[in-house]
Amino acid sequence: MRAAEEATLSPGEIRLVGTGLVMELPEGLECQVRPRSGLALKHGITLPNSPGTIDPDYRGELRIILQNLGPEAVTLARGERIAQLVFARFETPAVEEADSLSDSDRGSGGFGSTGRA
């Protein structure tokens, strides 16, 4: 994914950067937006909502939420690679309200309750 415009991010700044790309995804396919490791390592640029998800019903320009976690301002040039896209199939299950759930080894322990270090 490339920047459609030059953008300067001050330290700590979060900014929406346009890509100039529009797409229409078929049902059952999502597009995940992920940070680029080189920008993260060299400049502290990341995506605060990573991975971002583009749903099949989204229309309009793809814009990337970038954040500068580094100590200095970073200028991204027009055409510079700012994110990467991963396409994945997904299912939308029918959700039903229930009065009880089936048993499991974990039981109702929840997050962190598997006993593994």
At residue 83, the pLDDT reads: 97
At residue 73, the pLDDT reads: 98
pLDDT in tens, the chain (117 residues): 999 999 999 999 999 999 999 999 999 999 999 999 999 999 999 999 999 999 999 999 999 999 999 999 999 999 999 999 999 999 999 999 999 888 887 777 777 666 655
At residue 106, the pLDDT reads: 74
At residue 103, the pLDDT reads: 85
Structure tokens at 109: 């322990």
Bridge partners, 29 (sequence order): 89
CATH class (in words) of the domain with range 7-89: mainly beta
Report the SS3 class of residue 99: coil
**Contact between 93 and 71 (Cβ < 8 Å):** no
Burial of 65 (0-12, 13-18, 19+ CB in 10 A): middle
- CA quadruple 102, 105, 107, 111: dihedral positive or negative? negative
Task: Break the chain into its structural domains and give their ranges.
Answer: 7-89
